[in-house]
Structure 1
Amino acid sequence: MTRRDSRGLPLSTIFDRAADRYREGVDLLLSAWPGAAEALDEAIAADPDFALAYAARARLHAFRGEPAKAKARIATAEGVVARRGTERERSHVAILSLAISGNSAQALERALAHADAWPRDVLILSLPLGAFGLFAFSGMADHDQARVDLCERHARHFDADDWWFLTYRGWSHAENGNVAHGRALTQRGFDLRKNNANAAHALSHAMYEGGAHDEAERLIAGWLPGYDRAGILHGHIAWHAALGALERGDPEQALAIYADCIQPSVTAGMPVNVVSDTASFLWRLKAYGHTVPTELWQDAAAYSENYFQKAGFAFADVHMALIAAATGDKTAVEERVRAQMDLIAAGGLAAGPVVPAICRAALSFAEEDYAACARMLEPAAAEVVRIGGSGAQREMIEDMLLLALMRSRETVKARELLDRRLHRRPSSRDTRWHGLLAA
């Protein structure tokens, strides 16, 4: 009897328990739900020659910012699959190996080809998708559309009640501007599997993009207490709640959420989330005119010293520069910018010149040279999407430009930008700022 994965693809294991625990482990992984590591370890124990179980375990190590462990696991998977594995499984392992080793462009190319051959191989199809997927971090200016195109190309291969596909298809549409359709799809996915942090996250994003900030806060308040703090998205989903509190002018509540769920000492999030969430929340808090306790910036800086020290990961580069600028480490920002410029000259920074432009602008903003900040950000504004992440995460850069324009008395430009934002998505904060400009 052929054992199969959760989407019906055959597995090279003869052990029922190995297949069962693999199916459970992958679904937990795709849900960002605790227990995936244990389930996959049990699959490996049941069949030490089960390559895909090692590969999925490697993917989890990569999520956790454990590159040495990830590389060791994927190397084991490569050795096993060479001896016992189908064509699909060999391709599956090879693509994850490319992603884990940092060969993102090759991994993306191979993942798209793999999806054409085996579209229901969801662990591989997931790689280009999401805010931190291979498309988002490719440096492409149209990666939001590329995600939609990928999902629509393969939609016919998925059941109408596939909770995973509904979640990522919905996310892709909402991020690409088709918010109502994206929210409806994501809501269906969430209703089918509530124990799915990716669905709760995607649904809160869709609500945010549609201007339904109060609904997003209520969703998170009702759902987050049932998500174990060991879940890798716990701190990030709380970050959305903290932004909601800031949006309605409640910095005390925002800070309380930060202290309880987001700061480095309390979260079990992925390093890229911890660095970006701490940096962007604290930046927003200060930029919006609220007091940021000095020790919070210091804690964020201390955590970041262990990660992303080498320039070249655009999304992390921007947030590392924010932390350095906010803590007065001008040298660190300048060194990172020089390294980025060297990479650009060598063709090695896919996102291109927008990255050093944002880093320099962040330093100018921190030094209260708002005119210089605006000069650097204005020509780069249309290219910010290239750094990856979500629209909600990148909005901080637009806020920086808007506030720099307001504070350098570029009133006409600031009002035009606010008008575009209010047309795109209602916001009580933007309404308040618009009132200030009109006064």
Structure 2
Amino acid sequence: MPSFHTDRYDLPLSTSSAHAAERYQVGVDLLLSLWPGAAEALDEAIAADPDFALALAARARLQLIDNQAGAAREAIARAQRLVERRGTERERSHVQVLQRLIAGESAQALQDALAHADRWPRDILILGLPLGAFGLLAFSGRADHDQARVDLCERHARHFAADDWWFLTYRGWSLGENGEVVRGRTLTERALELRRHNVNAAHALTHVLHESGDSQAAQALIAGWLPEYPHHGTLHGHIAWHGALVALEQGDIQGALDLYQRFVAPAASTAGPLNRVSDNASFLWRLGLYGHEVPADLWQATAASASGLFQQPGLAFADVHMALIAAATGDRQALEERVAGLEARLCDGTLSAGPVVPLLCRALLAFADEDYDGCARLLEPLRTDVARIGGSGAQREVIEDTLLVALLRGGEHTRAGALLDERLHRRPSTRDRHWRASLAS
């Protein structure tokens, strides 16, 4: 069937239904801004044209984000059947990339997504797959994934208008994560101005402000924007987690705990498994690192919430945060089993992030055992490789914080001072200034 409609990037859509095309575009924009309502819009597109393969593919992508893996597999399989019968070359490639992603074939999905973007750079649902903290590049095991995201955005920048809210979001995010915080802030602020209900822009700006060391601006952004975002939204708890980290940075421990208990803790969180595990584990670990008592019931609730999740080692970001939970709760058996599984995958060549992952897990156990010298010996050589686990700079900072505190508690003040000087040069931090001043006194 010939295409009668296009999306907002002038890419042909194989549907003869104007209503299906319009609802598809609305649904994709909501999906890519992570604002609630995408599922309903895409379902309306499918109801208007049950043979509209791209609408089914977008629905499958959203189901994967929402951790409905079985439904995603069914939807993408149906999309594949339909696109072969009624779809353009671009649409067939689009569906194939998503099929590989949903099947867990991450390395091939990344390769295919990059090739697809070279041919159809304005197909933003596919161009977006390698981008972001949990994107295919971040979870590729590459140490240079921050630079790779910038390179991808810059390569295709000419294809997007200066006021494209989606592209501004991810270009600004990528630049900020790669150290270009001034330019990153300008772009993400503009993206949020253009589309206020753009969770990814608010999230990206929060990260850029973190990397800038501007905790006051981050606090104002979160306090002013988060109430507009429905509590059940995918990243609501994660952006609240950023707010809790800002409160910790400013020494407002009660404020940090209040935000944590209201929005981040397992009983309150509406996040998916990966954010729920990582946000809870890293917040509680940092609370202890910074010298504050962590109520045992908070760790117990986090461990209970994580029970049964990420049991098979191999997703490095999850492995490290599961190790945080095991180390903090004294579950040595679970941690050692995870390390053994990671080392087995390392031996058979299926651990994309490499040896940094089991070594990080061992370092966390050493810290929990108060073997601060041993922890520091493991962590110091890994600093340039920590990026291999994926996630963002703000998320991975918990590892460098652990190294710093291990050095301080181990009496290695000269090495701690050098690390603090480097950190303060890279990112101004009230806490680091206090630590540096205490070393100098």
Match of 2:115 in 1: 113
Match of 1:87 in 2: 89
Gaps of 5+ in 1: none
**Equivalent residues in 2 for 1:283-298 (5 A)?**
283-298=285-300
1:33–1:197 contact (8 Å) kept in structure 2: yes
Match of 1:22 in 2: 24
Between the aligned partners of 2:266 and 2:11, the Cα distance in structure 1 is: 39
Q: Does 1:212 align with 2:211?
A: no
Amino acid at match of 1:355: V
Q: Does 1:397 align with 2:399?
A: yes
1:384–1:394 contact (8 Å) kept in structure 2: yes
Q: 1:57 to 1:306 in 2, by over 3 A?
A: farther
Between the aligned partners of 2:77 and 2:361, the Cα distance in structure 1 is: 36
Match of 1:365 in 2: 367
Match of 1:153 in 2: 155
**Equivalent residues in 2 for 1:373-392 (5 A)?**
373-392=375-394
Q: Does 1:229 align with 2:206?
A: no
- What is the deviation of 1:111? 0.4
Match of 1:53 in 2: 55
Gaps of 5+ in 2: none
**Equivalent residues in 2 for 1:254-265 (5 A)?**
254-265=256-267
Between the aligned partners of 2:68 and 2:156, the Cα distance in structure 1 is: 32
Between the aligned partners of 1:426 and 1:126, the Cα distance in structure 2 is: 31
- What is the deviation of 1:23? 0.3
**1:341 aligned residue (343, 346, 354):** 343
1:208–1:216 contact (8 Å) kept in structure 2: yes
Q: Does 1:179 align with 2:181?
A: yes
What SS does the corresponding residue of 2:381 show, helix, strand or coil? Answer: coil
Q: Does 1:99 align with 2:98?
A: no
Match of 2:416 in 1: 414
Amino acid at match of 1:300: T
Residues 238-266 of structure 1: per-residue CA shift (max 9 Å, x gap): 10000000001111110100011111222
Match of 1:325 in 2: 327
Amino acid at match of 1:104: S
TM-score calculated relative to the size of structure 1? 0.99
Between the aligned partners of 1:17 and 1:394, the Cα distance in structure 2 is: 44
1:3–1:11 contact (8 Å) kept in structure 2: yes
- What is the deviation of 1:60? 1.1
Amino acid at match of 1:370: Y
Q: Quick check: 33-42 or 267-276, which moved more?
A: 267-276
Between the aligned partners of 1:305 and 1:68, the Cα distance in structure 2 is: 21
TM-score calculated relative to the size of structure 2? 0.98
Q: Does 1:64 align with 2:69?
A: no
Match of 1:194 in 2: 196
What SS does the corresponding residue of 1:130 show, helix, strand or coil? Answer: coil
Question: Alignment identity in percent?
Answer: 64
What SS does the corresponding residue of 1:256 show, helix, strand or coil? Answer: helix
Residues 294-346 of structure 1: per-residue CA shift (max 9 Å, x gap): 12111111111232111000000000110111111001110101111111111
1:9–1:121 contact (8 Å) kept in structure 2: yes
Q: How many aligned residue pairs are there?
A: 439
Between the aligned partners of 1:54 and 1:300, the Cα distance in structure 2 is: 35
Residues 171-191 of structure 1: per-residue CA shift (max 9 Å, x gap): 000100111011111111111
Amino acid at match of 2:188: T
1:71–1:101 contact (8 Å) kept in structure 2: yes
- What is the deviation of 1:6? 2.5
CA RMSD after TM alignment: 0.9
Match of 2:5 in 1: 3
What SS does the corresponding residue of 1:281 show, helix, strand or coil? Answer: helix
Between the aligned partners of 1:337 and 1:70, the Cα distance in structure 2 is: 31
Between the aligned partners of 1:234 and 1:9, the Cα distance in structure 2 is: 32
What SS does the corresponding residue of 1:140 show, helix, strand or coil? Answer: coil
1:64–1:271 contact (8 Å) kept in structure 2: no
Amino acid at match of 2:230: D
- What is the deviation of 1:71? 1.1
Between the aligned partners of 1:210 and 1:176, the Cα distance in structure 2 is: 12
Between the aligned partners of 2:75 and 2:291, the Cα distance in structure 1 is: 47
Match of 1:299 in 2: 301
Between the aligned partners of 1:294 and 1:69, the Cα distance in structure 2 is: 37
Between the aligned partners of 2:153 and 2:10, the Cα distance in structure 1 is: 19
Match of 1:436 in 2: 438
- What is the deviation of 1:381? 1.3
Residues 177-226 of structure 1: per-residue CA shift (max 9 Å, x gap): 11101111111111100100100011111111111111001000000000
Amino acid at match of 1:66: Q
What SS does the corresponding residue of 1:379 show, helix, strand or coil? Answer: helix
Amino acid at match of 1:124: I
1:5–1:11 contact (8 Å) kept in structure 2: yes
Which consecutive aligned stretches of 4+ in structure 1 deviate over 3 angstroms post-superposition?
Answer: none
